[in-house]
Amino acid sequence: STNDHFINRIPKLELHVHLEGTLTPELRWQLAQRNDMSLHSLRLNKTFHTLEELKEAYNLLQPRSIKGVGLSAFFEAYYGGMEVLQTERDFHDLAIAYFGRAKEMGVVYCEAMFDVQAHTRRGVEIGTLMTGLGSAKKEAEVELGLKVNYIMCFLRDLSPEDAMKHYELALPYQDMIVGIGLDSNEYNRPPLLFGEVYRRAKKDGFKLTCHCDVMQKDTYEHIRQVACELGGTGADRIDHGLDAAEIPELVEKIKTKGIGMTLCPWAYVRHHKEENVFGYVRRLFDAGVLINVSSDSPAYVESNWIVDNLRLSKMMGGFTDEEIVKLQMDSVDMCWASEDAKGQMR
């Protein structure tokens, strides 16, 4: 929690959080011990002998220092960190640790993302992760009263064929998955490259979203494809897409189509000046776009949980308490809970 009691207290919706990105150094250390693994960083060419050493490596990935290190360092730490996730129980423990924390922060509904290929390519069976995540979802709902839906993301630096193969492998678990997304490195990987799997998923009843990271090569074209073309006529949501704020026609399109945007402002400080980040969030909100403020990969950036992102939006974007409540109401409108569950949140 933060020192902002209003933000701590109000019911919140987290719609953009990668479960693998909630893997704290503490939990990673614990899982490594349990699985009898030692921990290394390729980038730092280092073996971690203690939890303290591991925590220090995380300190190198803080928002201001990451500018020099680059997004690839984040990806390396993020995909490297996952190696400790081996068993059903590991995936369960990862998810429930985050859900417990979310509940403590006042989150009442969560759409949590997970990668499939990042695990299968390490030799983990899809059933292992899906069963572990499935039991954590049930536990969160029954024991914590936190409603959870999952968004399955494909790695866009892998092939569209591999995405389709994993889409089909995941179909037996369709009941716990509300939507599909695209994440990882988007350099020269436009959303429409994955057009076929998106059209198929739409036909099968999934909601559609796609990452458009900040300040990427082809940023505006990627946002345009997501807003106007993915799934035939455009996706239901854009993850990030902050740069749309620079193009009035894009803002108008996103607004009139009722496409929601999940923004994780603190993570963007890696790429943009702080004034621009919060100025753009503000501009989108003032234009009447449905936006949600979430955390993305909170364990890999200091002070980056949902409450921190909301507190920073208030401080640096000038959001009043009433506007913070409006953000939560807009989040209810754009989220993929059942109409019943939405009614309970309003």
Q: Which residues bind ligand ADE (CB under 6 A)?
A: 18, 21, 78, 183-184, 211, 213, 296-297
Query: Minimum Å distance from CB 152 to Zn ion?
Result: 13
280 binds, among ligand ADE, Zn ion, none (CB under 5 to 8 A by kind): none
Residue 296 near Zn ion by CB under 5 A: yes
Considering the complex, what minimum distance in angstroms separates the CB of residue 273 from ligand ADE? 18
Q: Which is nearer to Zn ion, 48 or 207 (CB)?
A: 207
Give the nearer residue to ligand ADE in terms of CB position, either 211 or 224: 211
User: Which one, 80 or 106, has the nearer CB to ligand ADE?
Assistant: 80
Coil vs helix vs strand at 295: coil
Lookup result for tokens 């997304």: 181
Interface with Zn ion includes 213 (CB under 5 A)?
Answer: no
Strands 39-41 and 46-48: antiparallel
Q: What is each CA distance from 308 to 81, 161, 181, in whole angstroms?
A: 23, 38, 25
Partner from Zn ion, ligand ADE, none contacting 184, C-beta within 5 to 8 A by type? ligand ADE
Residue nearest to ligand ADE (CB): 183
Residue 88 or 111 with smaller CB distance to Zn ion = 111
Shortest reach from residue 93's CB to Zn ion, in Å: 21
Q: Name which of residues 45 to 84 contact Zn ion (CB under 5 A).
A: none
**Shortest CA distance to 280 belongs to which of 296, 263, 298?**
263
Provide the edge-to-edge strand list for the sheet that holds 211-212.
211-212, 237-240, 260-263, 291-293
> Could you tell me the smallest distance in angstroms from the CB atom of residue 113 to ligand ADE?
8
CA distance 100 to 139: 10
**Closer to ligand ADE by Cβ: residue 149 or 297:** 297
> What residues form DSSP beta bridges with 261?
238, 291
Q: Give the whole-angstrom CA distance, residue 236 versus residue 282.
A: 21
**Radius of gyration of the chain measured on its C-alpha atoms:** 19
The C-alpha atoms of residue 118 and residue 84 are separated, in whole angstroms, by 12
Q: Cβ 297 to Zn ion, closest distance in Å?
A: 7
Span from 48-56, 141-149, 185-193, 290-298 in contact with Zn ion (CB under 5 A): 290-298
Minimum CB–partner distance for residue 51 and ligand ADE (Å): 23
DSSP lists the bridge partners of residue 41 as: 46
Kindly state whether residue 186 participates in binding Zn ion, applying the rule CB under 5 A: no
Residue 21, binding choice from ligand ADE, Zn ion, none, Cβ under 5 to 8 Å by partner class: ligand ADE
Instruction: Considering the complex, state which of residue 21 and residue 234 has its C-beta at the smaller distance from Zn ion.
Output: 21
308 part of the interface to Zn ion, by CB under 5 A: no
**Which residue's CB is nearer to Zn ion, number 39 or number 284?**
284
147-155 and 39-41 strand pairing: unpaired
Find out whether 181 and 209 touch, Cβ atoms under 8 Å.
yes
Query: Is residue 90 part of the contact set for Zn ion (CB under 5 A)?
Result: no
**Least distance between Zn ion and beta carbon 118 (Å):** 13
At which residue do the structure tokens 């009691």 appear?
5
Q: Identify whether the C-beta of residue 1 lies closer than 8 Å to the C-beta of residue 320.
A: no
Distance CA 207, CA 3 (A): 36
| DSSP class of 296 | B
